[in-house]
Amino acid sequence: GAAGPVPRDLAGRHVVVSAGGTREPIDPVRFIGNRSSGRQGVALAAAAAARGAQVTLVAANLAADLTEPLAAAGAAVVAVASTAELRQAVRSAAERADVVVMAAAVADFRPAAPPTAKIKKVAGAAPAPIELVENPDVLAELAADRLRPGQVVVGFAAETGDDGASVLDHGRAKARRKGADLLAVNAVGENLGFVTDVNEVTVLDARGETVTSVAGSKREVADGLWDAVAKILPSM
Ligand code: CTP
Ligand code: CA
């Protein structure tokens, strides 16, 4: 934030942040991916470190120039590619974590049986369809399992409004479905987020009630979310 010193309210805490986007192999050289830049997750990790936390960043296909400053600041950076790898890395780190934030864009589906050899085109023949299967919901599992007692579990959701429901309607339904303590809902496709570098998120609790709204840079949004986390962290 602009005013005052950074609180050291996460000193002695271990936080795990996943960032980036997972990639699911189609064959040895191709994948299904997404456009997540990973910048909000990296901002969350940097803000937590500045507030005194020990940080593990599970980095799904992030560019080295994004993760290097965090590693230099003492964060543990675990690079992963697929959802299966991300799930394993997050759950392993979560066993020692006070807070887990799932900021990564996780592929909802993966090819069921990627061949070990590259798929070749056959002149004149229609391409073979790629069968997809659903990935595990890492966030919902973490919320259900609570790998460490008292652990705070946080998710992110980028939503668009549509004819039937607003951004917040979708966010509230998702918050109830996931069971996370907090869900940061980001309206995509609205003027604020597009025209300027300003982000706006509404933080919901597990019942879908609004906890707080934060607008600003990705770092300011990150600090607003850590403020909300700090309020519900069990005392040490
Ligand atoms: N998430 C996850 N595992 C998945 C899918 C999503 O952990 N297989 C997490 C994301 O990291 C994020 C939150 O769940 O923190 C919301 O992701 P989102 O894609 O918005 O939710 P979905 O349940 O996949 O719903 P949708 O159909 O809208 O994609
Ligand atoms: Ca999804």
Task: Give residue-wise pLDDT tens across range 128-175.
Answer: 999 999 999 999 999 999 999 999 999 999 999 999 999 999 999 999
Ligand 1 binding pocket includes 135 (Cβ within 6 Å): yes
Q: Give the pLDDT mean for 114-139.
A: 96
pLDDT at residue 194, rounded to an integer: 47
**Distance between start and end Cα atoms, the chain:** 25
Ligand 1 binding pocket includes 108 (Cβ within 6 Å): yes
Q: What spacing in Å lies between the alpha carbon of 123 and ligand 2's midpoint? A: 35
pLDDT, tens digit (0-9, with 9 covering 90-100), for 20-29? 999 999 999 9
Residue 196 has pLDDT above 60, yes or no: no
pLDDT at residue 228, rounded to an integer: 98
- How many helices (H) and strands (E) in the chain? 7, 12
Q: What is the DSSP secondary-structure string of 200-219?
A: EEEEEETTS-EEEEEEESHH
The single residue listed with the structure tokens 């990935």 is: 135
pLDDT at residue 3, rounded to an integer: 59
Ligand 1 binding pocket includes 141 (Cβ within 6 Å): no
pLDDT at residue 191, rounded to an integer: 53
Q: Give the pLDDT mean for 42-57.
A: 98
Ligand showing the shortest atom-to-Cα distance for residue 156: 1
Instruction: Give me the active site residues, please.
Output: 34
Decide: pTM greater than 0.90.
yes
Ligand 1 atom at minimal distance to the Cα of residue 183: 15
pLDDT at residue 193, rounded to an integer: 45
Look at ligand 1, atom 21, and give the residue with the nearest C-alpha.
Answer: 157
Q: What region does 209 belong to: left with phi over 0, alpha with psi -120 to 50, or beta?
A: beta
pLDDT at residue 195, rounded to an integer: 46
